Structure 1
Amino acid sequence: MNDTARIREHMEVIGADGVHVGTVDGVEGERIKLTKKDSGEGRHEGHHHYIPLSLVAEVEGDRVRLSANSDVAVMFEEEKSDPV
């Protein structure tokens, strides 16, 4: 079974370095949708961010571990504005 098929809502997403990147809100297509609470501050606040499934190294327990360190993984994040 492909590890990405085991990704579920509320799982923690961590970088290869073990640092928190976000919390899974769901999987949409080939991307993990992160919860808004992990969206950051300023212009990033209140938006969903997405991580490509191609960055998933493994799913272990209630965590999704990425193949990139957290500081690199956030550079791959995509952002989507939600309607007000």
Structure 2
Amino acid sequence: MVDLSQIKEHAKVIGADGVHVGTVDHVEGHRIKLTKQDSGDQHHHYISTGLIAEVEDGTVRLSANADVAVTMEESE
């Protein structure tokens, strides 16, 4: 399990394939709230912290590839 306190504001979120998924706005419970700037619809989207494989050097790496991870995003 990942230590959620390691996830910092404005950290990059990337898929297992290294592709950019979004940027952390902040952690809300068991979800990462992504910034609006990374969404095509100017709404916040959320990624479950259960998808996090690791946090390394300020980057959040997911266990799923980016194209799969974005299908699992939740809207506000």
Which range, TM-score by smaller chain? over 0.9
Superposition pairs of residues 1-84 of structure 1, within 5 angstroms:
2-40=2-40, 45-80=41-76
Paired residue type of 1:32: I
Tell me how large the CA RMSD over aligned residues is: 1.2
> Aligned equivalents of 1:79 and 1:60: distance in 2?
26
1:28 CA displacement:
0.2
C-alpha contact 2:2 2:54 (8 A) present in aligned 1: no
Task: Give the C-alpha shift of residue 67 in structure 1.
Answer: 0.1
Identity across matched positions, percent:
68
Listed as ranges, the gaps of 5+ residues in structure 2 are none
C-alpha displacement at 1:5, in angstroms?
Answer: 2.3
Instruction: Give the 3 Å change call, closer, same or farther, for CA 2–15 of structure 1 in structure 2.
Output: closer
Deviating above 3 A after TM superposition, structure 1's stretches of 4 or more consecutive aligned residues are: none
What is the count of residue pairs matched by the alignment?
Answer: 76
